[in-house]
Structure 1
Amino acid sequence: MDYSEAANRISRKFAQGGQTPDVTKIEGKLRRLVDEFGVQPSEAERSVTSELAKEYNLPAPGSGGSSGAGGSGGGTQEKKIAEGVPGEWVTIEGKIVALSAPASASIAQSGIIADDSGAIRFVVWAKSNAPAMAEGSWYRIESAVMDEYKGVANLKVHSGTTIKEIAEDRSLIPTPTPIKDLRPGIGGVRAKFVQEWEANHERMLQSGLLGDETGTIKFVIWKEPGKEKLVPGAVYNIFYAQVDEFNGRLSLNLNAATILQEEGEIAVSGGEAAFTGAIVHIAPGSGIIKRCPVEGCNRALSRQNYCPVHEIQPKFVYDLRIKGWLDDGEKTHNVLIQRDVVEALTGISLAKAQEIAENNPLGMDEVFLQMRDAVLGRYITCHGREIDGRLLVNKCEKVAFSTGDHTALLNRAGGAPS
């Protein structure tokens, strides 16, 4: 875009009406819109033209006396949030349902704004000098930029944006979305907390799996003041969660979400998988393990009882698990089998494993060896949820095997991943 030519073109339009706009300022506004906000050059030129028309209390040149937004909005179109398209300048009316800490000094405010059509993340640039908005209040935001970042729409408030508080508290009843229909952005679900996972980061408060009648999805809550854990097995209405996408998989960030526990039950389905084959490899870290006893941690400890977050934990808690590979003849599946299923599959209870670990000269290694001998090469069917390439097993069944297939699978065991 030739900014100088565009600025002179805009200036000439108003010069015909006796106005003398500053060409340098016009060029600066055009550069900021295109270079900083990623606005299309034609849209930037139209926006600056409309802004000058508003400043001079004139109809925009060539507009026939209309400002293009029902007589307001500086030439932008008033829309519902769900109707906005990245690249447009829009005017919306919505409720601030969440505020979050700005990611940098260049941002004055950030959070989520919602109306009855949906919700969107917003950013208020510090240099816009916009008035601060309060969580729970309604606002009319005129001439904001609908932008896109990593495929997700967001709203940018800049120096040309007008923010007006709406005095009335309008009704806003968000509608949950079936998990299978979630898309990157902001969304809500009615779901059951079906599985809690071991936290794999020191800043993580809780992680696990939510499910409804249509499927399951991973969630995470990061440690922040006032944040609380969800209760396993409970049903929740969750609104205004951030729906992220990584490697083609969706997950929910619940830190800015509104979370309401409710009575009732959900028949969770979707995400279930079942594979039949032979256990061809038992990975290190299987058998009896020690876990951190600190509430909310549950991390597996090292042989020296060391937790990566809470350091040495002499009052550890014992647990059982099997990490291994199940070969179905066509594909090798990474499986993680938890305590109750391990006990049923191996015939070794937690109490028995603890006795072996504390009294046998080989200690915990003896438990590993006995469990390996009990399952390696055995045909089983594993049921569970497949998450990030691993089957989280909730039930196993022993299966009669074919001698020919059994030999072929064992011959492949030497090449199984470790």
Structure 2
Amino acid sequence: MIGDVKIMDIDPQITERISHKIEEKGGFVEKERILSKLKLLVSDFGIPAEEAERTVTNEFLREQNLSSTGRQNQDVSKIADANPGDWVTVEGKIVSISNPPSPSIAQAGIIADDSGAVRFVVWSKADCPAFEIGKRYRIESATIDEFRGSPSMKIHSGTKVTETEEEIPLMPKPEFISDLKPGVATVRVKIIQNWEPRHERMFQTGVLGDETGTAKFVTWKDDSNVKLEEGRVYNIYYAGVDEYQGKISLNLTGTDIIEEEGASIEVSGGNATLSGSFINMGPGSGLIKRCPVEGCNRVLNRQNFCPVHEVQSKFRYDLRITGVIDDGTKATNVLIQRDETEKITGITLEKAIEIAENNPLGMDDVFMRMQDVILGRYLQCRGNDLEGTFLVKSCQPQSFDSQKHTQLINRAHEQEEVDL
């Protein structure tokens, strides 16, 4: 059952009304075809029966070149004005096409006009001609719903799609990170930090920001991937904006990206502070090997194996620390990159490589030496607090604080009592 309407519960009078309207205009459609269309819209797409009636009526009237007395979807709507629950007719330009996430979807992407942009999905059963990037289309009788908090346009079997030659001027204005909401947006940002991709389909992920704040970004693999470099400024057109647990993230897959050479942005944020005792050094810390394939940067295992590009003999070395800092109230995961790792441990990348190559324990020796230096040490860090992990930009040792130390001991005793 969909929308509390069972497939066989469609009122026979709906079929009769549609048939009568078509005959009044001088046409004829078999009632079995009418009922089949109604069932498709109601059962497959969850469209309310009254909306399905209007859609099927207009579709058969168009099919037989008969005029319709209704005005549904005849007036062109601005994309920025479309809200979940609306039936719309829009005219726009296809600015992005992405890989369909499901066999039930023929195409997915972004369409834009001079007011804004919206994500769209074409159902496989819609029998719609394939959209092409850069071309302009008139889309009639599409539905707007909500997916992960942002509007999404659905193109179904009752939607009419026509390619148009009409020129649509598109001049998207960048939005500030602090003003973003779920949907589609154009931004001017600086790449703050690239992270190691955690999925084989992921091309790049990290943190970007502007004068008003920072956000996580991700790019999934497709034929148009562009590697974004740390410290550089980019104009990114029509990025997908998602929200999860109150935090905004950007999907850059399929976007148009233009670098502003020589430009700089004073990024707001990255000034969160974290002070406490370093209580745990996690695996993957110390001297690590990274995949040298452009756009990958994944950490290799002990056999120099990359989960995407397999064995890599020409790896490159790097330093980092993953671990936990406890401030006496809560424990926070931290990630410290090479520059700060060298500063707080006193071990440079060159020194770490020398240790690994000249000691029986190899890279494990580097891990243990760093652990001896940092474990239990009080640190004050600045950086970005994102999704439960504190990304350290700078880190300074602190003097011993007996009060904080006492708080940590008390917490440990309380946890032991809970465990018992």
SS in 1 for 2:50: helix
1:93 corresponds to which residue? 91
Q: Structure 1, unaligned stretches of length 5 or more?
A: 61-66
SS in 1 for 2:34: helix
Residues 1:7 and 1:290: Cα distance change in structure 2 (over 3 Å) = same
Residues 1:307 and 1:131: Cα distance change in structure 2 (over 3 Å) = closer
Q: Which of 168, 171, 186 does residue 170 from structure 1 map onto?
A: 168
CA distance in 2, matches of 1:234, 1:214: 17
2:196 corresponds to which residue? 198
Higher mean alpha-carbon deviation, 357-366 vs 343-352, is at: 357-366
CA distance in 2, matches of 1:115, 1:132: 19
Question: If the length of structure 2 is used for normalisation, what is the TM-score?
Answer: 0.85
CA distance in 2, matches of 1:18, 1:351: 85
Corresponding letter in the other structure for 1:193? I
Higher mean alpha-carbon deviation, 258-267 vs 294-303, is at: 294-303
Q: Which of 42, 46, 51 does residue 38 from structure 1 map onto?
A: 46
In the TM superposition, residue 235 of structure 1 has moved relative to its aligned partner by: 0.8
CA distance in 2, matches of 1:104, 1:320: 39
SS in 1 for 2:357: helix
Question: If the length of structure 1 is used for normalisation, what is the TM-score?
Answer: 0.85
Q: CA RMSD in A?
A: 2.9
Q: Which of 156, 159, 170 does residue 158 from structure 1 map onto?
A: 156
Q: Structure 2, unaligned stretches of length 5 or more?
A: none
Higher mean alpha-carbon deviation, 393-402 vs 21-30, is at: 21-30
Higher mean alpha-carbon deviation, 200-209 vs 299-308, is at: 299-308
1:378 corresponds to which residue? 377
Cα deviation per residue 1:345-404 (whole Å; 9 max; x = unaligned)?
Answer: 122222223333233344333332332222222222111111221111110122223324
In the TM superposition, residue 190 of structure 1 has moved relative to its aligned partner by: 0.9
Number of residue pairs aligned between Structure 1 and Structure 2: 405
Residues 242 and 256, structure 1, Cα contact 8 Å, conserved in 2: no
2:323 corresponds to which residue? 324
1:64 corresponds to which residue? none
CA distance in 2, matches of 1:374, 1:232: 29
Residues 281 and 413, structure 1, Cα contact 8 Å, conserved in 2: no
Where do 1:303-342 residues align within 5 Å?
Answer: 303-342=302-341
In the TM superposition, residue 296 of structure 1 has moved relative to its aligned partner by: 3.0
Residues 357 and 364, structure 1, Cα contact 8 Å, conserved in 2: yes
Matched, 1:48 2:56: yes
Residues 1:203 and 1:126: Cα distance change in structure 2 (over 3 Å) = closer
SS in 2 for 1:344: helix
SS in 1 for 2:364: helix
Where do 1:13-412 residues align within 5 Å?
Answer: 22-51=30-59, 57=66, 60=69, 67-68=70-71, 73=73, 76-103=74-101, 107-263=105-261, 264-270=263-269, 272-409=271-408
Higher mean alpha-carbon deviation, 164-173 vs 299-308, is at: 299-308
CA distance in 2, matches of 1:171, 1:251: 28
In the TM superposition, residue 256 of structure 1 has moved relative to its aligned partner by: 1.5
CA distance in 1, matches of 2:287, 2:409: 25
Residues 106 and 124, structure 2, Cα contact 8 Å, conserved in 1: yes
CA distance in 2, matches of 1:226, 1:17: 49
Residues 377 and 410, structure 1, Cα contact 8 Å, conserved in 2: no
In the TM superposition, residue 344 of structure 1 has moved relative to its aligned partner by: 1.3
CA distance in 1, matches of 2:389, 2:133: 40
Corresponding letter in the other structure for 1:46? R
Residues 1:147 and 1:25: Cα distance change in structure 2 (over 3 Å) = farther
Cα deviation per residue 1:49-80 (whole Å; 9 max; x = unaligned)?
Answer: 455566584553xxxxxx326xxx5xx54211
Residues 40 and 87, structure 1, Cα contact 8 Å, conserved in 2: no
Residues 39 and 87, structure 1, Cα contact 8 Å, conserved in 2: no
| Percent sequence identity over aligned pairs | 53
Residues 1:410 and 1:314: Cα distance change in structure 2 (over 3 Å) = farther
